[in-house]
Structure 1
């Protein structure tokens, strides 16, 4: 999965060279929701790679979070987070990557900014309702840790912190979650999916998780 998000450095290097020589084809942002979010994830990857001194070096975890943000937002369009849709977006990225990075991908940056304005936020504002914030923080921590697991050698400390945060929150929210959703597991998962859709709009994922840790991780 890491290759799908951070991209193949060789493909990206060739694409960046091609772009400097002229000739890449014009691109348009897809209208299909999964492809639209995946395309913006690829564009974010290419932008992050272009900003690094070593194109084959691991990206900063904040950049990885920014790439994942498009999957999170694309999977939360209807007010509830769908892990299936998020997974489909992440898996679609490597399939779209060659055509995008060999084209005029820079021209898609404004389109992605317009399609996903929440991905441009730099500040963090957790949901005002405590349970929404807790559930969202726990779900985001779990998703991010799972998504970056293939690259755990680069982000081991952060992933351990995210898993610890998820565990701490899970241990604490039981009574409040049951008060909201009852004891039915499906209803509880629905409550978490709705909270996740709120937290993905709270700011950059890695910065959000840092704030979650300060608020609920101790």
Structure 2
């Protein structure tokens, strides 16, 4: 599955101040997700002192991306075009949001997208179906590597933690698909559905922590 969201789109949102204008979440689902992504980006920059040149922490950057992922995961299968639409919309909305009372939107975003909030009960539970869990972990790890990786990426060390897991999952997923007699189209559909499921479990960094803990070979 080809990922079409470019990381720079999600990484360049600047903290440009806030004004007196009250803001509300849009009704349009793409604009709503993009608005909350911008709010998350502005909050992350504010928490980091407003330094636009500095890379955000991995968990924060993945959290911004989560809103685009959730838009793509509204159905049973992951829709890349919806996720890409949110990513493209975020920089278009940033100026208007940052000029208003964007901080006041944070509670509304948390209510609209509860999956973005850290779970209170500890690690995130993965699907019980082994093949779906394996496929979802692989797909989400690949997505994050595609969007946040690269030779000069500030997140390359963190992303490297996924590599042993993905190597181990290659063989396991292939064997699982063969054991179920899935044809290529069905295997692609399984991956898309598994990614949509993973996106809805919680923040991407937390989901991947559970994936790494469960599927990385020991020793």
Question: What is aligned with 2:89?
Answer: 92
For 1:209 and 1:31, locate their aligned partners in 2 and report how far apart those are by CA, in whole Å: 31
For 2:106 and 2:26, locate their aligned partners in 1 and report how far apart those are by CA, in whole Å: 13
Cα offset, 1:196, TM superposition: 1.1
Question: What is aligned with 1:205?
Answer: 204
Question: What is aligned with 1:128?
Answer: 128
Cα offset, 1:7, TM superposition: 3.1
How many residues are treated as equivalent by the alignment? Answer: 208
Cα offset, 1:128, TM superposition: 1.5
Q: Return the structure number with greater helix share.
A: 1
What are the equivalent positions in structure 2 for 1:51-62 lying under 5 Å apart?
Answer: 51-53=47-49, 55-56=51-52, 57-62=54-59
Q: 1:152 to 1:84 in 2, by over 3 A?
A: farther
Question: What is aligned with 2:110?
Answer: 113
Question: What is aligned with 1:146?
Answer: 146
For 1:170 and 1:152, locate their aligned partners in 2 and report how far apart those are by CA, in whole Å: 26
Q: 1:33 to 1:167 in 2, by over 3 A?
A: farther
Cα offset, 1:79, TM superposition: 2.1
Question: What is aligned with 1:79?
Answer: 76
Superposition TM-score, scaled by structure 2 size: 0.86
What are the equivalent positions in structure 2 for 1:168-207 lying under 5 Å apart?
Answer: 168-180=168-180, 182-183=182-183, 185-207=184-206
For 2:167 and 2:84, locate their aligned partners in 1 and report how far apart those are by CA, in whole Å: 22
Does the residue aligned with 1:147 lie in a helix, a strand or coil? helix
Question: What is aligned with 2:11?
Answer: 6
Does the residue aligned with 2:155 lie in a helix, a strand or coil? helix
Unaligned runs of 5+ in 2: 1-5
- List per-residue Cα deviations over 1:60-105 (Å, max 9, x = no partner): 0010111111111111111221122212211221111111111111
Confirm or deny: 8 A CA contact 2:13 2:41 kept in the other structure: no
Does the residue aligned with 1:34 lie in a helix, a strand or coil? helix
The RMSD of aligned alpha carbons is 2.0
For 1:113 and 1:216, locate their aligned partners in 2 and report how far apart those are by CA, in whole Å: 30
- List per-residue Cα deviations over 1:173-209 (Å, max 9, x = no partner): 11212344612x2221111111111111222211211
Question: What is aligned with 1:155?
Answer: 155
Superposition TM-score, scaled by structure 1 size: 0.87
For 1:72 and 1:169, locate their aligned partners in 2 and report how far apart those are by CA, in whole Å: 22
Confirm or deny: 8 A CA contact 1:181 1:191 kept in the other structure: no
Q: Identify which range, 67-76 or 114-123, moves more after superposition.
A: 114-123
